[in-house]
A and B are shown apart, each in its own frame.
Chain A
Amino acid sequence: MNDAAKPGLAVEFDDVVKDFGTVRVLHGIGFALEPGRVYGLLGENGAGKSTLMKILGGYQPQTSGTIRVNGRPVAFSSSRDAEAEGIVLIHQEFNLADDLSISDNIFLGHEKKRGLLLDNRAMHAESAKVLAKVGLAVDPATKVSRLIVAEKQLVEIAKALARNARLLIMDEPTATLTPSETNRLFRLIEEMRADGVTVIYISHKLDEVERITDEVIVLRDGRFVGRSPTKDISRRQMANMMIGREVNDLFPPRAPVPRETAPALRVTDFSVPGWAEKISFEVRPGEILGFAGLVGAGRTELFEGILGLRKGSGRIELSGRTVTFRSPREAADHGLTYLSEDRKGKGLHVNFGLGENLTLMALERYVKPLLDPSAEHAALEAAVKEYGIRTGTLRNKASALSGGNQQKLALAKVLHPEPKVVVLDEPTRGVDIGAKRDIYFLISRLASQGLAVIVISSELLELIGVAHRVVVMRAGRFSAEVDGAHLTEQELIAHATGTANVDA
């Protein structure tokens, strides 16, 4: 397992082209990576980062061009081939078999055997070692289905370590990690670099890129646009390179706090067993209320409880009327809609067309008494314009859109029933900076039109940038409500982690 004698890998891309059907997504990319360094690979969604890395990881062949590893041209026909060279890709979406144990997953496809039988003892022992390295204190025999998302991410990393990676590709590894887990991951990356491992780090979080990488490489629209030592470049410059123009004003000017009006939604002492206890809050028309907290603080579960997706109890008032919802259907009928944080799992039908996705929550409007396809098409045309959804053709499936545009479509979908209150759970997760800006301006515009908006986010800067007030939750309980001058990163972190004096 410890094969430190082997050096890291040098990789050279030479005029790599990738076509999907008639569409060229990589336009002759060429750059070289030296062993034992940490590279940040930057680019907007759809820039071609993931495609390029899938080619390097052996998941897809390039259409033309050469990849050289340590000077030798390689052609991987599968990820197994790439792993044999020491190249391991950790996917953004997990590749774990839920019903197998952690140890089974770590050695999946590379099982240790004793004769014909599996050598579980040896595999457990080695698993325990790599788990300790990534800082996951769980028995290797635990089933993966019992882990939370952040732990699954750590198992993915442990799996890569056990494969003895000499070049490790990480795609948004910290999306689900808490700050302390992220710190541990960064220490791990530093250890690997000291070990001579080459690391390619893909992330939209530029502060992390700044912290952990030696050099950044920027792609845009399937082309290499530039590279620079990390220390010589500011975050602002990175963003400008990614977008190809100046980004200023990521956030819209803060709209004035609405006058004292009756709340659009008031929730009193709402509890979701195991997740949230006696949470109370209210949001007025035209107001943007943020929900901050660490992963697992119970924010998503609280709102799933309010929507009737989980067992919950407490008082809910919409525009002054007491209501209870047994399902999102009833909530939508009362003017409350919810955008899930899990875009592919709960937000969009990726195999459906754009129009079918858009109108699904408000289909009754298109029933006359048969569905009216031309009305649906007109609605889609209007939404594409209004929400700035970039798509080649309106007949596309949702899966053909980039992450940012999928997210805009998902937003358009939950707003299509014209709710009075909308809950947006991580509205910019996995979205590039250009789309983020669009979404922030959209949220601000919706609020100024009188919609009550609730934004749940793990990105504190985002809440500080758009919200009028922020409720902080910690371990299922109300921790603080912050507004005005108190709306700072330090204050929110202090409340989210419980290190603030409540009276301060």
Chain B
Amino acid sequence: MSTPEPSQANATDAVRPRESSAATWRERIQSYGPVAGLILLCLIGTWLNSDFATPENILNVLTRTAFIGIIAVGMCFVIISGGIDLSVGSMAALIAGCVIMLINWAGQAVGSPLAAVLIGALAAIVLGAFLGMIHGLLITRGRIEPFIVTLGTLGIYRAYLTYFSGGGAITLDNALADLYAPVYYGYFLGIPIPVWVFLGVALAGGLVLNRTAYGRYVQAIGSNEQVARYAAVDVDWVKLKTYMLLGACVGVATLLYVPRLGSASPTTGLLWELEAIAAVIVGGTALKGGAGSIAGTVVGAILLSVISNILNLTSIISVYLNAAVQGFVIIAVALLQRSRRT
């Protein structure tokens, strides 16, 4: 039976760092994973087809990414807060339909085609935020799971669009379509407008997430809602704003999308919700919420469209398998992320 030596106390005064630098190093590697994947894909693409690395093709890919990317930025907030929104594709279709009808009406009623288009663009954002608010209220006040609320509205929105269009297409009047077209087809400083908007939304999203109290609260709620509530965070209000933010993002994406085809039909925005969620997840955000990054989301969105672009340009794998390849990528990313959670 021994008793402690007084001298031993001194030997143990050393600071005990409890988190090894190895762990953070590993986290850093994982956060660069999506970027590494994207670079690898681009190298493969360049190697397979010389057209891949041309400026036209790159801008083409980025322009196509813009819709999903902008929605994914909003989706990133919702997922970090611990929620989900399955309705964004249907919401985009409904907004597109409503906006086209509004512009057509305003073109006649107001007389100024430019005013009509501006009214339509503004309405797209307002309507998106409004639909997001409905989600937020049902989730916070109604205490219904986000999955269920947005599964319901997924059906509702698309059904109304189908009803408004009589099963066909709602088409923008020609004169107005010509005026509106540059929003999708136009360039500024050699870069397509949608890419600028995507960039702007992503930068604003990153700033809001990382440098505002609201962004901090979103992460706090997703990380542990109870702790956030006890720490005097107004959980319901923050969640409501998050769904409204996503709705507004869908509105922005839609107002870029409308001039592309100048019409909305029951197939508009089909499966966009899955692509947006996939972009967020591939970008390294955990589906259970708490932490995530806008930069990762942007990379994730680009990565997914690069895959389909490569499949289009090459003939190694059938284009019909596009969704399958994306699916494999999503699962592979999830496998890589697994170790982070344990």
A: residues with CB less than 8 A from B are 20-23, 25, 46, 218, 220-221, 223, 225-229, 232, 240-241, 244-245, 309, 327-329, 331-333, 337-338, 340, 345-352, 356, 360-361, 363-364, 366-367, 369-371, 373, 390-393, 395-397, 400-402, 413, 417
Contact = CB atoms under 8 A, between A and B. Distances in A.
Interface stretch (B94-102, B120-128, B229-237): B229-237
Given A347-B227, A367-B212, A417-B232, 17 more contacts: A21-B20, A22-B20, A23-B20, A241-B3, A309-B230, A328-B230, A332-B232, A340-B230, A349-B223, A360-B228, A361-B232, A364-B213, A366-B213, A392-B19, A396-B17, A400-B18, A400-B19
A351 B216 contact: no
Interface in B280-297: 290-291
Interface string B6-44: 001100100111111111100000000000000000000
B207 interface: yes
Given A331-B232, A337-B232, A346-B226, A228 B15 contact: no
Interface residues of B, number: 40
A370 B207 contact: yes
Contact of A328 (B212, B216, B219, B232): B232
A232 B1 CA distance: 11
B211 interface: yes
A351 B292 CA distance: 12
A51 B226 CA distance: 28
Given A23-B18, A46-B16, A327-B234, A229 B223 contact: no
Contacts of A21: 19-23
Contact of B223 (A241, A245, A333, A352): A352
Contacts, number: 136
A392 B17 contact: yes
Contacts of B18: 20, 23, 46, 391-392, 396, 400-402
A391 B16 CA distance: 7
Contact of A228 (B3, B210, B228): B3
Nearest to A414: B231
Among A22, A218, A232, the one with the most B-chain Cβ atoms within 10 Å of its Cβ is: A22
Nearest to B12: A221
Contacts of A348: 227
B206 to A, nearest CB: 12
Contacts of A327: 229, 232, 234
A449 to B, nearest CB: 22
Contacts of A395: 24
12 contacts: A23-B20, A221-B16, A223-B12, A227-B1, A327-B229, A345-B226, A346-B226, A347-B227, A347-B230, A349-B224, A371-B211, A397-B19
Among B21, B24, B219, B231, the one with the most A-chain Cβ atoms within 10 Å of its Cβ is: B231
Interface string B248-263: 0000000000000000
A244 B216 contact: no
A221 B18 CA distance: 12
Contact of B9 (A244, A391, A417): A244
Contacts of B19: 21, 23, 392-393, 396-397, 400
A465 to B, nearest CB: 25
Contacts of B23: 21
B16 A393 contact: no
B207 A226 contact: no
Given A229-B1, A392-B16, A351 B232 contact: no
Contacts of B2: 226-227
A351 B291 contact: yes
B308 to A, nearest CB: 34
Nearest to B9: A244
Among A349, A356, A367, A417, the one with the most B-chain Cβ atoms within 10 Å of its Cβ is: A349
B212 A371 contact: yes
Contacts of A364: 213
A367 B9 CA distance: 44
Given A22-B21, A245-B9, A349-B224, A226 B15 contact: no
B3 A367 contact: no
Contacts of A397: 19
Given A390-B15, A400-B19, A329 B232 contact: yes
A360 B207 contact: no
Contact of B229 (A25, A218, A309, A350): A309
Given A227-B1, A370-B207, A371-B211, A360 B229 contact: no
Contact of A351 (B17, B22, B229, B290): B290
Interface string B122-166: 000000000000000000000000000000000000000000000
Contacts of A350: 224
A392 B23 CA distance: 14
A438 B155 CA distance: 58
Contacts of A329: 232-234
Contact of B20 (A20, A221, A340): A20
B229 A22 contact: no
A240 to B, nearest CB: 8
Across the A-B interface, give the 8 residue pairs with the lowest CB-CB distance, nearest first: A21-B20, A392-B17, A244-B9, A221-B12, A332-B232, A21-B22, A400-B19, A370-B211
Interface in B320-334: none
A20 B23 CA distance: 9
Contacts of A227: 1-2
B285 to A, nearest CB: 14
B20 A226 contact: no
A21 B16 CA distance: 13
A221 B2 CA distance: 17
A137 B16 CA distance: 45
Interface in B198-232: 207, 210-213, 215-217, 219-220, 223-224, 226-232
A347 B22 CA distance: 28
Contacts of B212: 367, 369-371
B15 to A, nearest CB: 6
Among B19, B213, B230, B290, the one with the most A-chain Cβ atoms within 10 Å of its Cβ is: B230
B216 A363 contact: yes
B70 to A, nearest CB: 22
A225 B219 CA distance: 43
A461 B163 CA distance: 72
A69 B8 CA distance: 29
